[in-house]
Structure 1
Amino acid sequence: MSAEFLLEARQVTKHYGKFVALGGVDLRVRRNTVHSVIGPNGAGKTTLFHMLTGTLGATGGSIAFDGQDVTREPAHVRVRKGMARSFQVTSLFPTLTVRENLRLAAQGVNARRAFNLWRSPQGHWSCAEMVDRVIERLGLRNQERTAAGSLSHGQQRRLEVGMALAAEPKAIFLDEPTSGMGIDDLDDMKTLIADLGRDYTVVLIEHNMGIVMDISHTVTVMQQGRVLVEGTPQSVRDDERVRTAYLGSMITGGRK
Protein backbone atom coordinates (compact mmCIF):
# COMPACT_ATOMS: atom_id res chain seq x y z
CA MET A 1 0.00 0.00 0.00
CA SER A 2 1.39 3.39 -1.00
CA ALA A 3 2.06 5.87 1.82
CA GLU A 4 0.16 8.38 -0.29
CA PHE A 5 -3.09 6.56 0.42
CA LEU A 6 -4.57 6.21 3.90
CA LEU A 7 -7.32 3.81 2.82
CA GLU A 8 -7.28 1.21 0.09
CA ALA A 9 -10.04 -1.26 -0.74
CA ARG A 10 -9.38 -3.92 -3.37
CA GLN A 11 -12.11 -5.90 -5.13
CA VAL A 12 -14.48 -5.62 -2.16
CA THR A 13 -17.66 -7.67 -2.59
CA LYS A 14 -20.81 -8.11 -0.54
CA HIS A 15 -23.34 -10.85 -1.31
CA TYR A 16 -26.69 -11.54 0.31
CA GLY A 17 -27.43 -14.98 -1.00
CA LYS A 18 -27.64 -14.58 -4.76
CA PHE A 19 -28.01 -10.81 -4.55
CA VAL A 20 -24.76 -8.94 -5.22
CA ALA A 21 -24.77 -5.63 -3.31
CA LEU A 22 -21.15 -4.88 -4.23
CA GLY A 23 -19.52 -6.53 -7.18
CA GLY A 24 -15.81 -5.86 -6.72
CA VAL A 25 -15.11 -2.26 -5.67
CA ASP A 26 -11.66 -0.70 -5.76
CA LEU A 27 -11.24 2.52 -3.75
CA ARG A 28 -8.06 4.40 -2.85
CA VAL A 29 -8.31 7.50 -0.67
CA ARG A 30 -5.40 9.93 -0.43
CA ARG A 31 -4.40 11.36 2.92
CA ASN A 32 -5.79 14.77 3.91
CA THR A 33 -8.30 15.01 1.10
CA VAL A 34 -12.08 15.05 0.78
CA HIS A 35 -13.10 11.96 -1.21
CA SER A 36 -16.80 11.81 -2.07
CA VAL A 37 -18.74 8.68 -3.04
CA ILE A 38 -21.91 9.43 -4.99
CA GLY A 39 -24.59 7.56 -6.89
CA PRO A 40 -28.33 6.90 -6.94
CA ASN A 41 -30.22 5.00 -4.26
CA GLY A 42 -29.22 1.35 -4.42
CA ALA A 43 -25.80 2.04 -5.93
CA GLY A 44 -24.04 0.46 -2.93
CA LYS A 45 -22.61 3.58 -1.29
CA THR A 46 -23.83 2.91 2.24
CA THR A 47 -23.00 -0.81 1.99
CA LEU A 48 -19.45 0.17 1.04
CA PHE A 49 -19.30 2.60 3.98
CA HIS A 50 -20.44 -0.12 6.38
CA MET A 51 -17.72 -2.46 5.17
CA LEU A 52 -14.99 0.17 5.22
CA THR A 53 -15.82 1.07 8.83
CA GLY A 54 -16.47 -2.47 10.05
CA THR A 55 -20.24 -2.36 10.58
CA LEU A 56 -20.59 -5.08 7.93
CA GLY A 57 -18.19 -7.84 6.99
CA ALA A 58 -17.01 -8.15 3.41
CA THR A 59 -17.81 -11.28 1.42
CA GLY A 60 -14.57 -10.91 -0.51
CA GLY A 61 -11.69 -8.56 -1.20
CA SER A 62 -9.44 -6.65 1.20
CA ILE A 63 -9.41 -3.36 3.08
CA ALA A 64 -6.21 -1.70 4.30
CA PHE A 65 -6.05 1.35 6.54
CA ASP A 66 -2.86 3.22 7.31
CA GLY A 67 -0.81 0.28 6.12
CA GLN A 68 -2.69 -2.37 8.13
CA ASP A 69 -5.12 -5.00 6.90
CA VAL A 70 -8.44 -4.33 8.66
CA THR A 71 -10.65 -6.52 6.47
CA ARG A 72 -11.79 -8.70 9.36
CA GLU A 73 -11.44 -6.17 12.18
CA PRO A 74 -14.69 -5.17 13.97
CA ALA A 75 -15.83 -1.56 14.07
CA HIS A 76 -14.54 -0.76 17.59
CA VAL A 77 -11.04 -1.91 16.65
CA ARG A 78 -11.09 0.26 13.54
CA VAL A 79 -12.08 3.24 15.69
CA ARG A 80 -8.97 2.69 17.80
CA LYS A 81 -6.90 2.52 14.62
CA GLY A 82 -8.16 5.97 13.60
CA MET A 83 -11.51 5.55 11.81
CA ALA A 84 -14.55 7.54 12.92
CA ARG A 85 -17.93 7.95 11.26
CA SER A 86 -21.29 9.64 11.39
CA PHE A 87 -24.60 8.12 10.28
CA GLN A 88 -27.54 9.18 8.12
CA VAL A 89 -29.75 9.30 11.20
CA THR A 90 -28.43 11.62 13.89
CA SER A 91 -27.21 9.61 16.89
CA LEU A 92 -26.77 11.85 19.93
CA PHE A 93 -27.59 11.76 23.64
CA PRO A 94 -30.47 14.28 23.50
CA THR A 95 -30.68 15.04 27.24
CA LEU A 96 -26.94 15.64 27.59
CA THR A 97 -25.27 18.92 26.74
CA VAL A 98 -23.08 19.55 23.71
CA ARG A 99 -20.01 19.36 25.96
CA GLU A 100 -21.12 16.11 27.59
CA ASN A 101 -21.82 14.47 24.23
CA LEU A 102 -18.33 15.36 23.05
CA ARG A 103 -16.73 14.24 26.32
CA LEU A 104 -18.37 10.82 26.06
CA ALA A 105 -17.19 10.46 22.47
CA ALA A 106 -13.62 11.33 23.48
CA GLN A 107 -13.68 8.97 26.46
CA GLY A 108 -15.14 6.13 24.41
CA VAL A 109 -11.96 5.64 22.39
CA ASN A 110 -10.05 4.52 25.48
CA ALA A 111 -11.52 1.59 27.41
CA ARG A 112 -10.06 2.80 30.73
CA ARG A 113 -11.79 6.16 30.29
CA ALA A 114 -15.04 4.73 28.95
CA PHE A 115 -15.63 2.24 31.77
CA ASN A 116 -14.31 4.12 34.77
CA LEU A 117 -17.67 4.53 36.53
CA TRP A 118 -16.32 5.16 40.03
CA ARG A 119 -15.02 8.70 39.65
CA SER A 120 -16.35 11.90 38.16
CA PRO A 121 -14.70 13.05 34.91
CA GLN A 122 -12.13 15.44 36.37
CA GLY A 123 -8.72 16.50 35.12
CA HIS A 124 -7.27 14.23 32.46
CA TRP A 125 -10.41 12.09 32.46
CA SER A 126 -12.61 15.02 31.39
CA CYS A 127 -10.86 15.37 27.99
CA ALA A 128 -11.48 19.11 28.44
CA GLU A 129 -8.83 20.35 26.01
CA MET A 130 -10.03 18.06 23.24
CA VAL A 131 -13.66 19.01 23.84
CA ASP A 132 -12.80 22.73 23.78
CA ARG A 133 -10.96 22.40 20.46
CA VAL A 134 -13.86 20.54 18.87
CA ILE A 135 -16.47 23.02 20.15
CA GLU A 136 -14.50 25.91 18.63
CA ARG A 137 -14.16 24.10 15.33
CA LEU A 138 -17.87 23.38 15.20
CA GLY A 139 -18.82 26.96 16.00
CA LEU A 140 -20.95 25.80 18.95
CA ARG A 141 -19.31 27.73 21.79
CA ASN A 142 -22.56 29.54 22.63
CA GLN A 143 -24.41 26.21 22.78
CA GLU A 144 -21.90 24.12 24.75
CA ARG A 145 -24.20 23.95 27.81
CA THR A 146 -27.32 23.34 25.71
CA ALA A 147 -28.92 19.89 25.63
CA ALA A 148 -28.30 18.25 22.27
CA GLY A 149 -32.03 17.63 21.83
CA SER A 150 -32.67 21.39 21.96
CA LEU A 151 -30.29 22.21 19.11
CA SER A 152 -31.49 22.95 15.60
CA HIS A 153 -31.21 20.10 13.11
CA GLY A 154 -28.19 21.72 11.47
CA GLN A 155 -26.44 22.15 14.82
CA GLN A 156 -27.17 18.52 15.72
CA ARG A 157 -25.59 17.37 12.48
CA ARG A 158 -22.50 19.48 13.21
CA LEU A 159 -22.34 18.04 16.72
CA GLU A 160 -22.41 14.52 15.33
CA VAL A 161 -19.42 15.39 13.13
CA GLY A 162 -17.80 16.77 16.27
CA MET A 163 -18.32 13.47 18.09
CA ALA A 164 -16.37 11.78 15.33
CA LEU A 165 -13.63 14.42 15.71
CA ALA A 166 -13.47 13.89 19.48
CA ALA A 167 -12.22 10.36 18.82
CA GLU A 168 -9.02 11.92 17.40
CA PRO A 169 -9.29 10.01 14.13
CA LYS A 170 -7.07 9.86 11.10
CA ALA A 171 -10.11 9.50 8.81
CA ILE A 172 -13.69 10.67 9.18
CA PHE A 173 -16.49 8.92 7.30
CA LEU A 174 -19.55 11.16 6.86
CA ASP A 175 -22.79 9.58 5.66
CA GLU A 176 -25.02 12.30 4.14
CA PRO A 177 -24.13 14.97 6.72
CA THR A 178 -26.38 17.59 5.10
CA SER A 179 -29.47 15.35 5.05
CA GLY A 180 -32.58 17.27 6.07
CA MET A 181 -30.77 20.59 6.43
CA GLY A 182 -32.27 23.92 5.57
CA ILE A 183 -30.43 26.23 3.22
CA ASP A 184 -29.11 28.38 6.08
CA ASP A 185 -27.23 25.42 7.59
CA LEU A 186 -25.77 24.07 4.36
CA ASP A 187 -23.02 26.66 4.04
CA ASP A 188 -21.86 26.08 7.61
CA MET A 189 -21.60 22.34 7.06
CA LYS A 190 -19.88 22.76 3.71
CA THR A 191 -17.31 25.09 5.27
CA LEU A 192 -16.75 22.66 8.15
CA ILE A 193 -16.17 19.64 5.87
CA ALA A 194 -13.82 21.57 3.58
CA ASP A 195 -11.87 22.71 6.65
CA LEU A 196 -11.63 19.15 7.98
CA GLY A 197 -10.03 18.05 4.72
CA ARG A 198 -6.94 20.07 5.61
CA ASP A 199 -6.26 18.10 8.80
CA TYR A 200 -8.01 14.79 8.27
CA THR A 201 -8.91 12.38 5.52
CA VAL A 202 -12.64 12.75 4.84
CA VAL A 203 -14.71 10.10 3.05
CA LEU A 204 -18.11 11.54 2.21
CA ILE A 205 -21.43 10.18 0.98
CA GLU A 206 -23.54 13.11 -0.15
CA HIS A 207 -26.51 13.72 -2.45
CA ASN A 208 -26.06 17.49 -2.67
CA MET A 209 -24.09 17.77 -5.90
CA GLY A 210 -23.28 21.43 -5.34
CA ILE A 211 -21.45 20.60 -2.12
CA VAL A 212 -19.73 17.54 -3.61
CA MET A 213 -18.42 19.44 -6.59
CA ASP A 214 -17.29 22.42 -4.51
CA ILE A 215 -15.30 20.70 -1.75
CA SER A 216 -14.14 17.31 -3.07
CA HIS A 217 -10.66 16.51 -4.28
CA THR A 218 -11.78 13.17 -5.74
CA VAL A 219 -15.24 11.85 -6.61
CA THR A 220 -16.11 8.17 -7.00
CA VAL A 221 -19.36 7.50 -8.85
CA MET A 222 -21.06 4.18 -8.12
CA GLN A 223 -23.77 2.39 -10.03
CA GLN A 224 -25.31 -1.01 -9.27
CA GLY A 225 -22.63 -2.01 -6.79
CA ARG A 226 -19.65 -1.06 -8.91
CA VAL A 227 -17.48 1.96 -9.61
CA LEU A 228 -18.62 3.67 -12.79
CA VAL A 229 -16.27 6.67 -12.86
CA GLU A 230 -13.64 8.19 -10.59
CA GLY A 231 -11.77 11.45 -10.93
CA THR A 232 -11.71 15.13 -10.12
CA PRO A 233 -15.04 16.94 -9.73
CA GLN A 234 -14.55 18.58 -13.13
CA SER A 235 -13.83 15.31 -14.92
CA VAL A 236 -16.84 13.65 -13.28
CA ARG A 237 -19.07 16.59 -14.13
CA ASP A 238 -18.00 16.40 -17.76
CA ASP A 239 -18.18 12.61 -18.12
CA GLU A 240 -20.96 11.63 -20.49
CA ARG A 241 -21.35 8.21 -18.85
CA VAL A 242 -22.27 9.91 -15.58
CA ARG A 243 -24.76 12.23 -17.23
CA THR A 244 -26.33 9.43 -19.24
CA ALA A 245 -26.44 6.92 -16.40
CA TYR A 246 -28.32 8.79 -13.72
CA LEU A 247 -27.28 12.29 -12.73
CA GLY A 248 -28.48 14.23 -15.72
CA SER A 249 -28.88 17.93 -15.06
CA MET A 250 -28.28 17.47 -11.30
CA ILE A 251 -24.54 17.40 -11.93
CA THR A 252 -24.59 21.00 -13.09
CA GLY A 253 -25.36 22.10 -9.55
CA GLY A 254 -21.65 22.36 -8.79
CA ARG A 255 -19.53 25.45 -9.41
CA LYS A 256 -18.01 25.70 -12.86
Structure 2
Amino acid sequence: MVLRTRNLTKRFGGLVAVDGVDFDLGEECCSLIGPNGAGKTTFFNLLTGVLEPTEGTVEYHDGDDWTDITDHAPYETALSGIHRSYQITNVFETSTVLENVRIAAQAAGGADSWRAWRNVEAFPEYEREARDILDRVDLGEKADRPAEALSHGEKRNLEVGIALAGDPDVILLDEPTAGVSSDGIDDLTDLVDDIAADHAVLLVEHNMDVVMEVSDRIAVLHQGSLIADDDPMAIRNSDRVQEAYLGGYEAGRPTGGEHA
Protein backbone atom coordinates (compact mmCIF):
# COMPACT_ATOMS: atom_id res chain seq x y z
CA MET A 1 0.00 0.00 0.00
CA VAL A 2 1.19 3.53 -0.74
CA LEU A 3 -1.67 5.70 0.56
CA ARG A 4 -4.29 5.16 3.22
CA THR A 5 -6.94 6.99 5.21
CA ARG A 6 -8.38 6.14 8.59
CA ASN A 7 -11.74 7.50 9.79
CA LEU A 8 -11.34 10.37 7.30
CA THR A 9 -14.19 12.81 7.88
CA LYS A 10 -15.08 16.26 6.58
CA ARG A 11 -18.01 18.29 7.83
CA PHE A 12 -19.21 21.59 6.43
CA GLY A 13 -21.49 22.81 9.19
CA GLY A 14 -24.22 20.21 9.46
CA LEU A 15 -23.29 18.53 6.16
CA VAL A 16 -21.06 15.48 6.36
CA ALA A 17 -19.30 15.38 2.99
CA VAL A 18 -16.91 12.53 3.84
CA ASP A 19 -17.95 10.21 6.64
CA GLY A 20 -15.36 8.08 8.45
CA VAL A 21 -13.70 6.63 5.34
CA ASP A 22 -11.06 3.90 5.73
CA PHE A 23 -9.35 3.50 2.35
CA ASP A 24 -6.15 1.91 1.07
CA LEU A 25 -4.46 2.44 -2.31
CA GLY A 26 -1.81 0.05 -3.55
CA GLU A 27 0.18 -0.26 -6.78
CA GLU A 28 -2.97 -0.36 -8.90
CA CYS A 29 -5.58 1.66 -10.71
CA CYS A 30 -8.51 2.19 -8.37
CA SER A 31 -11.56 4.13 -9.52
CA LEU A 32 -13.67 6.13 -7.09
CA ILE A 33 -17.27 6.36 -8.24
CA GLY A 34 -20.57 7.56 -6.85
CA PRO A 35 -23.50 9.91 -7.57
CA ASN A 36 -23.21 13.68 -7.66
CA GLY A 37 -22.57 15.00 -4.16
CA ALA A 38 -21.19 11.68 -2.92
CA GLY A 39 -18.01 13.36 -1.67
CA LYS A 40 -15.50 12.24 -4.32
CA THR A 41 -13.85 15.59 -5.02
CA THR A 42 -13.91 16.47 -1.31
CA PHE A 43 -12.10 13.19 -0.70
CA PHE A 44 -9.48 14.12 -3.33
CA ASN A 45 -9.08 17.53 -1.69
CA LEU A 46 -8.50 15.89 1.69
CA LEU A 47 -5.88 13.55 0.22
CA THR A 48 -3.95 16.42 -1.37
CA GLY A 49 -4.07 18.99 1.43
CA VAL A 50 -6.53 21.34 -0.24
CA LEU A 51 -8.92 20.74 2.68
CA GLU A 52 -8.23 19.88 6.30
CA PRO A 53 -10.24 16.97 7.67
CA THR A 54 -12.57 17.38 10.60
CA GLU A 55 -11.40 14.01 11.89
CA GLY A 56 -9.14 11.17 10.80
CA THR A 57 -5.80 10.82 9.07
CA VAL A 58 -4.15 10.57 5.66
CA GLU A 59 -0.93 8.55 5.57
CA TYR A 60 1.64 8.02 2.82
CA HIS A 61 4.14 5.18 2.55
CA ASP A 62 7.52 6.58 1.53
CA GLY A 63 9.11 3.19 0.89
CA ASP A 64 10.30 2.68 4.47
CA ASP A 65 7.47 3.64 6.78
CA TRP A 66 4.11 5.36 6.97
CA THR A 67 4.13 9.17 7.26
CA ASP A 68 1.16 11.17 8.52
CA ILE A 69 0.47 13.85 5.87
CA THR A 70 -2.94 14.88 7.20
CA ASP A 71 -1.86 18.46 7.91
CA HIS A 72 0.40 18.91 4.88
CA ALA A 73 -0.19 21.85 2.57
CA PRO A 74 -0.82 20.99 -1.11
CA TYR A 75 2.77 21.75 -2.12
CA GLU A 76 4.08 19.51 0.67
CA THR A 77 1.78 16.71 -0.42
CA ALA A 78 3.01 17.12 -4.01
CA LEU A 79 6.65 17.07 -2.92
CA SER A 80 5.91 13.86 -1.01
CA GLY A 81 5.02 12.20 -4.30
CA ILE A 82 1.24 12.64 -4.66
CA HIS A 83 0.15 14.61 -7.73
CA ARG A 84 -3.30 15.31 -9.15
CA SER A 85 -5.28 16.69 -12.05
CA TYR A 86 -8.55 18.64 -11.73
CA GLN A 87 -12.12 18.47 -13.05
CA ILE A 88 -11.70 21.84 -14.76
CA THR A 89 -8.78 22.21 -17.16
CA ASN A 90 -5.99 23.92 -15.26
CA VAL A 91 -3.03 24.86 -17.50
CA PHE A 92 -1.04 28.02 -18.30
CA GLU A 93 -2.87 28.91 -21.50
CA THR A 94 -0.34 31.40 -22.91
CA SER A 95 2.74 29.32 -22.07
CA THR A 96 3.92 26.63 -24.44
CA VAL A 97 2.98 23.02 -23.93
CA LEU A 98 6.63 22.33 -23.08
CA GLU A 99 6.79 25.15 -20.53
CA ASN A 100 3.69 23.85 -18.76
CA VAL A 101 5.35 20.51 -18.08
CA ARG A 102 8.86 21.92 -17.58
CA ILE A 103 7.59 24.28 -14.87
CA ALA A 104 5.83 21.38 -13.12
CA ALA A 105 9.00 19.26 -13.31
CA GLN A 106 11.07 22.09 -11.90
CA ALA A 107 8.58 22.72 -9.10
CA ALA A 108 8.83 19.04 -8.17
CA GLY A 109 12.61 19.48 -8.09
CA GLY A 110 12.39 21.43 -4.84
CA ALA A 111 15.44 23.68 -4.72
CA ASP A 112 14.98 24.93 -8.29
CA SER A 113 11.27 25.72 -7.94
CA TRP A 114 11.82 29.40 -7.10
CA ARG A 115 13.51 29.91 -10.49
CA ALA A 116 10.56 28.50 -12.44
CA TRP A 117 10.16 31.43 -14.82
CA ARG A 118 13.70 31.48 -16.21
CA ASN A 119 14.22 30.41 -19.84
CA VAL A 120 13.83 26.69 -20.43
CA GLU A 121 17.39 26.49 -21.79
CA ALA A 122 18.68 27.20 -18.28
CA PHE A 123 17.29 23.87 -17.07
CA PRO A 124 18.28 21.14 -19.53
CA GLU A 125 17.43 18.31 -17.12
CA TYR A 126 13.85 19.55 -16.70
CA GLU A 127 13.48 20.16 -20.40
CA ARG A 128 14.54 16.57 -21.12
CA GLU A 129 12.05 15.27 -18.56
CA ALA A 130 9.29 17.46 -20.00
CA ARG A 131 9.93 16.29 -23.57
CA ASP A 132 9.91 12.64 -22.48
CA ILE A 133 6.59 13.18 -20.72
CA LEU A 134 5.09 14.97 -23.72
CA ASP A 135 6.04 12.04 -25.92
CA ARG A 136 4.30 9.74 -23.45
CA VAL A 137 1.08 11.77 -23.51
CA ASP A 138 1.22 12.11 -27.32
CA LEU A 139 1.97 15.84 -27.35
CA GLY A 140 5.63 15.77 -28.34
CA GLU A 141 5.00 17.29 -31.76
CA LYS A 142 3.09 20.18 -30.16
CA ALA A 143 5.68 21.04 -27.50
CA ASP A 144 6.32 24.56 -28.84
CA ARG A 145 2.69 25.55 -29.33
CA PRO A 146 0.86 27.68 -26.75
CA ALA A 147 -1.39 25.55 -24.56
CA GLU A 148 -4.39 27.62 -25.64
CA ALA A 149 -3.99 26.22 -29.18
CA LEU A 150 -4.69 22.66 -28.02
CA SER A 151 -8.05 20.97 -28.31
CA HIS A 152 -9.93 20.20 -25.09
CA GLY A 153 -8.87 16.56 -25.25
CA GLU A 154 -5.25 17.55 -25.79
CA LYS A 155 -5.42 19.87 -22.79
CA ARG A 156 -6.61 16.92 -20.73
CA ASN A 157 -3.56 14.98 -21.93
CA LEU A 158 -1.39 17.95 -20.99
CA GLU A 159 -2.86 17.97 -17.49
CA VAL A 160 -1.95 14.31 -17.13
CA GLY A 161 1.55 15.20 -18.34
CA ILE A 162 1.80 17.92 -15.70
CA ALA A 163 0.72 15.41 -13.05
CA LEU A 164 3.48 13.05 -14.23
CA ALA A 165 6.21 15.67 -13.80
CA GLY A 166 8.64 14.76 -11.03
CA ASP A 167 7.73 11.06 -11.32
CA PRO A 168 5.27 10.88 -8.38
CA ASP A 169 4.35 7.59 -6.72
CA VAL A 170 0.61 8.38 -6.70
CA ILE A 171 -1.48 10.15 -9.33
CA LEU A 172 -5.04 11.30 -8.64
CA LEU A 173 -7.06 11.95 -11.80
CA ASP A 174 -10.30 13.89 -11.33
CA GLU A 175 -12.66 13.22 -14.27
CA PRO A 176 -10.01 13.27 -17.02
CA THR A 177 -12.55 12.47 -19.77
CA ALA A 178 -15.02 15.26 -18.88
CA GLY A 179 -15.97 17.13 -22.05
CA VAL A 180 -13.75 14.97 -24.25
CA SER A 181 -14.96 13.54 -27.58
CA SER A 182 -15.46 9.80 -28.02
CA ASP A 183 -12.20 9.48 -29.97
CA GLY A 184 -10.38 11.44 -27.28
CA ILE A 185 -11.86 9.22 -24.58
CA ASP A 186 -10.31 6.17 -26.22
CA ASP A 187 -6.93 7.89 -26.25
CA LEU A 188 -7.25 8.94 -22.60
CA THR A 189 -8.28 5.43 -21.61
CA ASP A 190 -5.11 4.09 -23.23
CA LEU A 191 -3.09 6.78 -21.45
CA VAL A 192 -4.53 5.92 -18.02
CA ASP A 193 -3.75 2.27 -18.68
CA ASP A 194 -0.18 3.21 -19.57
CA ILE A 195 0.30 5.36 -16.46
CA ALA A 196 -1.14 2.69 -14.17
CA ALA A 197 1.62 0.33 -15.31
CA ASP A 198 4.19 2.26 -13.25
CA HIS A 199 2.20 4.49 -10.87
CA ALA A 200 -0.52 4.04 -8.28
CA VAL A 201 -3.60 5.72 -9.79
CA LEU A 202 -6.80 6.87 -8.09
CA LEU A 203 -9.37 7.87 -10.70
CA VAL A 204 -12.65 9.75 -10.30
CA GLU A 205 -14.68 9.13 -13.44
CA HIS A 206 -18.36 9.08 -14.44
CA ASN A 207 -17.85 7.22 -17.73
CA MET A 208 -18.42 3.67 -16.55
CA ASP A 209 -17.05 2.13 -19.73
CA VAL A 210 -13.71 3.79 -18.92
CA VAL A 211 -13.96 2.76 -15.26
CA MET A 212 -14.67 -0.87 -16.09
CA GLU A 213 -11.86 -1.00 -18.64
CA VAL A 214 -9.00 0.54 -16.65
CA SER A 215 -9.77 -0.36 -13.03
CA ASP A 216 -8.16 -3.11 -11.00
CA ARG A 217 -10.53 -2.14 -8.21
CA ILE A 218 -13.51 0.18 -7.70
CA ALA A 219 -14.50 2.02 -4.52
CA VAL A 220 -17.99 3.49 -4.23
CA LEU A 221 -18.89 6.57 -2.21
CA HIS A 222 -22.50 7.36 -1.36
CA GLN A 223 -23.51 10.27 0.87
CA GLY A 224 -19.92 10.53 2.07
CA SER A 225 -19.61 6.87 3.09
CA LEU A 226 -17.67 4.08 1.42
CA ILE A 227 -20.38 1.53 0.63
CA ALA A 228 -18.39 -0.89 -1.54
CA ASP A 229 -14.77 -1.62 -2.47
CA ASP A 230 -14.11 -4.58 -4.76
CA ASP A 231 -13.10 -5.73 -8.23
CA PRO A 232 -15.06 -4.34 -11.23
CA MET A 233 -17.25 -7.40 -11.76
CA ALA A 234 -18.28 -7.56 -8.11
CA ILE A 235 -19.11 -3.84 -8.15
CA ARG A 236 -21.11 -4.22 -11.35
CA ASN A 237 -23.14 -7.06 -9.81
CA SER A 238 -23.67 -5.41 -6.41
CA ASP A 239 -27.34 -4.72 -5.68
CA ARG A 240 -26.36 -1.96 -3.26
CA VAL A 241 -24.19 -0.20 -5.84
CA GLN A 242 -26.85 -0.61 -8.52
CA GLU A 243 -29.39 1.04 -6.25
CA ALA A 244 -27.10 3.87 -5.14
CA TYR A 245 -25.48 4.72 -8.46
CA LEU A 246 -25.27 2.38 -11.44
CA GLY A 247 -29.01 2.00 -11.94
CA GLY A 248 -28.78 -0.93 -14.35
CA TYR A 249 -25.51 0.11 -15.98
CA GLU A 250 -24.94 -1.23 -19.47
CA ALA A 251 -21.77 -0.80 -21.52
CA GLY A 252 -21.91 2.27 -23.74
CA ARG A 253 -24.54 4.06 -21.66
CA PRO A 254 -23.42 7.09 -19.58
CA THR A 255 -23.87 6.95 -15.83
CA GLY A 256 -24.12 9.78 -13.29
CA GLY A 257 -23.30 13.40 -13.98
CA GLU A 258 -20.27 15.57 -14.57
CA HIS A 259 -19.45 16.75 -11.07
CA ALA A 260 -18.45 14.89 -7.94
Could you say whether these structures have the same fold, taking a TM-score greater than 0.5 normalized by the shorter chain as the test? yes
1:34 aligns with 2:47: no
* Corresponding position of 1:195: 194
SS of the equivalent of 2:129 reads: helix
Tell me which amino acid in the other structure corresponds to 2:36.
Answer: N
Q: Distance in 2 between matches of 1:117 and 1:72?
A: 26
Is the 8 Å Cα contact of residues 177 and 205 (structure 2) preserved in structure 1?
Answer: yes
- Alpha-carbon RMSD across the aligned residues, in angstroms, is 1.6
Greater shift, 118-127 or 66-75, is seen at 118-127
* Corresponding position of 1:81: 80
* Corresponding position of 1:18: 14
Tell me which amino acid in the other structure corresponds to 2:9.
Answer: T
Which whole-Å deviations, capped at 9, do the CAs of 1:107-151 have from their partners, x for residues lacking one? Answer: 112343221279534354551221121011001122111111010
Alignment of 1:234-249 (within 5 A): 234-249=233-248
Tell me which amino acid in the other structure corresponds to 1:215.
Answer: V
Identity rate, percent: 39
- The alpha carbon displacement at 1:252 in A equals 4.4
Tell me which amino acid in the other structure corresponds to 1:51.
Answer: L
Alignment of 1:103-182 (within 5 A): 103-116=102-115, 120-122=119-121, 124=123, 127-182=126-181
CA spacing shift, 1:221–1:128, aligned 2, 3 Å: same
Alignment of 1:46-57 (within 5 A): 46-57=41-52
TM-score, normalised to structure 1, is 0.93
- The alpha carbon displacement at 1:250 in A equals 2.7
- The alpha carbon displacement at 1:174 in A equals 0.5
Q: Distance in 2 between matches of 1:91 and 1:137?
A: 19
Is the 8 Å Cα contact of residues 130 and 165 (structure 2) preserved in structure 1?
Answer: yes
CA spacing shift, 1:243–1:50, aligned 2, 3 Å: same
Q: Distance in 2 between matches of 1:197 and 1:176?
A: 16
Q: Distance in 1 between matches of 2:245 and 2:129?
A: 42
Tell me which amino acid in the other structure corresponds to 1:187.
Answer: D
1:226 aligns with 2:230: no
Is the 8 Å Cα contact of residues 243 and 251 (structure 1) preserved in structure 2?
Answer: no
SS of the equivalent of 1:250 reads: coil
TM-score, normalised to structure 2, is 0.91
- State the aligned residue count: 249
